[in-house]
Chains A and B, each alone.
Chain A
Amino acid sequence: METARFSTIHANSVQYWILLGTLVLGALVGYLAAHHMDVEGHHITGMSNQIVWGFPHVAAVFLIVAASGALNVASISSVFGKVDYKPLARLSALLAIALLVGGLVILVLDLGRPDRLIIAMTVYNFKSIFAWNIFLYVGFIFITAIYLWMMMERKMNRFSKPAGFTAFIWRLILTTGTGSIFGFLVARQAYDAAIMAPLFIIMSFAFGLAVFILVLQASYAWTQRHLGDAILHKLRVLLGVFVASVFYFVLVYHLTNLYATEHHGVERFILVDGGIYTFLFWVVQMLFGCVVPLVLVFIRPFSQSRHMISLAALLVIVGGLAQLYVIIIGGQAYPLVLFPGMEESSSFFDGVVAQYAPSIFEILLGVGGICLSLAIVTVGIAVLEFLPESLSDKALKLESVTP
């Protein structure tokens, strides 16, 4: 694999500029939506004093979680020595940086005082996992950029393994930090669970790989480069394993909660009578985001079709967004319990399920962040050599496989 030839894509086609223009426009519209929210205040959003984190956080956490997962393909080659994946490592690292930047931009623009970012960058409370995450996120971008440099600069190639190992450890800590944002919330019924950290790590594996597969397929199809069956089917099997792992962690999370009487209320809310959250959990997250992708990647004849692999990856992304919507917004919609076993009521919506519907501004901000991530990738592969010229079975010296 050492001989894989990389090259930039030709950015002189109309289609390329239409794609890039659309993505930049999406990012710009997202920024304008955030600016409008900043000027008017958050009362124009669906967020309230009950649902304090809304759709922007769903999109941002998805991108951040997917970012660390997108780096897995590179880690598999550098850390676990699977040379078949090595040609994919550069794109994997680029995608990781791009997704993280998109997620962070959303988070920052949704702050009540985004103009005070400098305070967040200079004043730290080291007991806050948020403060640690600022280090972890910035560090991730820095370390992954160095890792990329080690991979792309021939003279530095020998350092790519330790750099990849550092990036791999860092990304595990990073996703632990992201999961712990929720795991450390002692008072909320839906959170306060140590399993949040490993759950988020395995979610990152699945979401990141799903995004990687779609970007890989799209970039090869649109640039008329050859993407062989062998490497794609390796990724397909990997995606299936990751999705099954997410299923296992979700199962353990809910079984643990169901065992404890104090959590029956929130479990009933999510699993039985939570309206939109119950629908999102069972239909979008579990059925379309888990069961259907598993069928598509493991059962013939679906598993033999590239379109079905793309569909599976897309469904994992949709299911992942639904999963985070249920965790982040569903977890807040269920009321805080101040007096267990009692009925609470007040003018401040104690004891009642909070209502939330994302406003257009929040959706535009979330989509804008996703557009920014993809725009970075689109520019990246045009200016630097991220993509191998061919990923055909022959070029990769892989045996053709029949799935």
Chain B
Amino acid sequence: MRDTLDTTEEISTGRRQFTQGVAALGGLAIAPGVFLYHAAGAKPDDQAVSSQQRWGMLVNTNNCHEECDACVTACNEENGVWSLGRPETDAQWIRKLNVRDRQTGHVTSMPMMCQHCEHPPCVDVCPTRASFRREDGIVLVNKHTCIGCRYCMMACPYKARSFIHEPLQDQLPHSPRGKGCVESCTLCVHKVDQGDNTTACAEACAEEGHEALLFGDLNDPESEISKRLEKYGGTQIRADLGLNTGVRYQGI
């Protein structure tokens, strides 16, 4: 076919290729911006975040195995929270906490992370409103306005936040992170906004067959989490502070 092309067609093809090239280049140039905007927007394209939902988590410590840290590994993989080999300054969004009763010696193991409070002390103290609570109850840090003062870390009763102590590389697009800012569990907000209706830690726990973590809508009486909480109850850690946490525990 190429041999039979006349000159006009050659010019036309050349022009088409040129136009396509320019379009592709233009697309390449703006794509990261569009992509980042999409990731940073962190909400579904077709609907706004609403207070009709209150996303939360139920932790059944009776099902949580002391030696298992699948939730921690899954969170790190999902959000790109890599260890830099310095435990004291490495970020930890979720950790396994062992609690031992001094009187009885009984040990309870549980995951500990941002409790996504209704009245979060981190949001109260943040001078620049970088720490904020979405309408659906997820507490996040705006990485564009966090000045790295660490007052939220002083205020958080759960030691849920980490400061990024050194330059990072290979961050994941849906999980913006950077030196000099504070971060914590996002309740896998990117998955929530995609409609996955679960988090990486809860998925991993289920895959292990433990089913100690249940994600869901606390405002929906028909959701599994609401039904279980209604039937069996749930405890807030440091309930005395009156923060109305979105993460509830059973068996503590």
A134 within 8 A of B: yes
Q: Is B127 within 8 A of A347, CB to CB?
A: no
Rounded to whole angstroms, the CA-CA distance of A181 and B126 in the bound complex is 11
Contact of A187 among B128, B151, B156, B166 (CB under 8 A): B156
- Interface check B158, CB cutoff 8 A: yes
Main secondary structure of the interface of A (DSSP, over half): loop
B3-21 contact mask (Cβ, 8 Å, vs A): 1 or 0: 0000000000000000000
Q: Is the CB of B145 within 8 A of A123?
A: yes
Instruction: Indicate if B22 sits at the interface (CB-CB under 8 A).
Output: no
* Contact stretch, chosen from A46-54, A270-278, A284-292: A46-54
**Chain A residues, CB < 8 A from B155:** 184-187
Are B167 and A41 closer than 8 Å at their CB atoms? yes
Asked whether B36 is an interface residue with its Cβ less than 8 Å from the other chain, the reply is no
Known: A116-B147, A123-B129, A336-B159. A43 touches B89 (CB 8 A): yes
Question: Quick check: is B191 within 8 A (CB to CB) of the other chain?
Answer: no
CA distance A181 to B149 in the complex (A): 12
Contact B238 A52 (CB under 8 A): no
Contact assessment for A113 and B147 in the assembled complex, using a CB-CB cutoff below 8 Å: yes
User: Residue B251 at the A interface, CB < 8 A?
Assistant: no
- A355–B149 Cα gap in the complex (Å)? 20
A331-380 residues with Cβ-Cβ distance < 8 A to B are: 332, 336, 338-339, 341-350, 355
CA of A92 to CA of B124 in the docked complex: distance in angstroms?
Answer: 35
Given A112-B182, A113-B181, A119-B145, A41-B164 contact (CB < 8 Å):
yes
- Which residue from chain A places its CB closest to the CB of B180 in the assembled complex? A112
Please report the C-alpha to C-alpha distance between residue A187 and residue B124 in the assembled complex, in whole angstroms.
13
> Is B88 in contact with A111, judged by CB distance below 8 angstroms?
no
The verdict on A52 contacting B91 (CB below 8 Å), with A41-B180, A131-B127 known, is no
- The stretch from B44-52, B93-101, B207-215, B221-229 touching chain A is B93-101
Whole-angstrom distance between the alpha carbons of A30 and B235 in the complex? 48
Residues of chain A within 8 A of B167, CB atoms compared: 41
Contact with A along B142-173 (1 / 0, CB 8 A): 00011111110111111101111111000000
Query: Which residues does chain B contribute within 8 Å of A263, judged by CB atoms?
Result: none
Across the interface, B89 reaches (CB within 8 A) one of A49, A116, A134, namely: A49
**0 or 1 for each of B89-128: is its CB under 8 Å from A? (1 = yes):** 1111001111111100000000010000000010111111
A223, B157: Cα distance in complex, Å: 53
Q: Is the CB of B241 within 8 A of A343?
A: no
* Nearest chain B residue, comparing its CB with the CB of A341: B102
Are B127 and A134 neighbours in the complex by a CB distance under 8 Å? yes
Please state if A112 and B145 are interface contacts (CB–CB under 8 Å).
no
- The smallest C-beta distance from A248 to any residue of chain B, in angstroms, reads 27
Q: Which of B123, B125, B167, B238 has the most CB of A within 10 A?
A: B125
CB distance from B129 to the nearest CB of A (A): 4
Give the shortest distance, in Å, between A343 (CB) and chain B (any CB). Answer: 4
Give the contact-size bracket for chain B. Answer: 35 or more
Q: Please determine whether B238 and A187 come into contact, CB atoms closer than 8 angstroms.
A: yes
A134–B151 Cα distance when bound, in Å, is 14
B128–A119 touching, CB < 8 Å: yes
Is residue B86 within 8 Å, beta carbon to beta carbon, of the partner chain? yes
Instruction: Determine if A195 is an interface residue (Cβ-Cβ < 8 Å).
Output: no
**B100 — which chain A residues lie within 8 A by C-beta?**
342-345
Interface residues in A, total, Cβ within 8 A = 49
Quick one: CB contact mask for A113-128 with B, threshold 8 Å, 1 for yes? 1101101100111011
Tell me whether A111 and B237 are in contact (CB under 8 A).
no
Inter-chain contact A42/B126, CB cutoff 8 Å: no
**Which partner residue on chain A sits nearest B165 by CB separation?**
A43
What per-residue 1/0 map shows which CB atoms of A69-111 lie under 8 Å from chain B? Answer: 0000000000000000000000000000000000000000001
Residues B147 and A188 in contact, CB atoms below 8 Å apart? no
Chain B residues 169-200 with CB under 8 Å of chain A are 179-182
Chain B residues near A184 (CB, 8 Å)?
A: 125, 155
- Complex Cα distance, B98 from A181, in Å, reads 31
Q: Judge whether B156 and A120 touch: CB under 8 Å.
A: no
Contacts of A123 in B (CB 8 A): 128-129, 145
B33 within 8 A of A: no
Within 8 A of B (CB), among A10-67: 38, 40-43, 47-50, 52-53
Neighbouring A residues of B126 by C-beta, 8 Å:
125, 128, 130
Q: When the two chains form their complex, are residues B96 and A347 in contact, meaning their CB atoms are under 8 A apart? A: yes
Contacts of A116 in B (CB 8 A): 128, 145-148
Report the Cα distance A89→B151, complex, angstroms.
Answer: 35
Of the A-B pairs whose beta carbons lie under 8 Å apart in the complex, a sample of 29, sorted by A's number, is A47-B165, A49-B88, A49-B161, A49-B162, A53-B150, A111-B148, A112-B164, A113-B181, A114-B147, A119-B128, A120-B128, A123-B128, A124-B127, A128-B124, A130-B127, A131-B127, A185-B125, A187-B155, A187-B238, A342-B101, A342-B102, A344-B97, A344-B98, A344-B100, A345-B97, A345-B100, A347-B96, A350-B112, A350-B159
Given A112-B179, A338-B97; 11 other pairs, CB 8 A cutoff:
A47-B165, A48-B165, A112-B150, A120-B149, A185-B155, A338-B99, A344-B98, A346-B112, A348-B159, A349-B87, A350-B97
Top 6 closest pairs, chain A to chain B, by CB:
A112-B148, A112-B180, A187-B157, A41-B166, A43-B165, A130-B127
Contact surface of A with B, Cβ cutoff 8 Å: 38, 40-43, 47-50, 52-53, 111-114, 116-117, 119-120, 123-125, 127-131, 134, 181, 184-188, 332, 336, 338-339, 341-350, 355
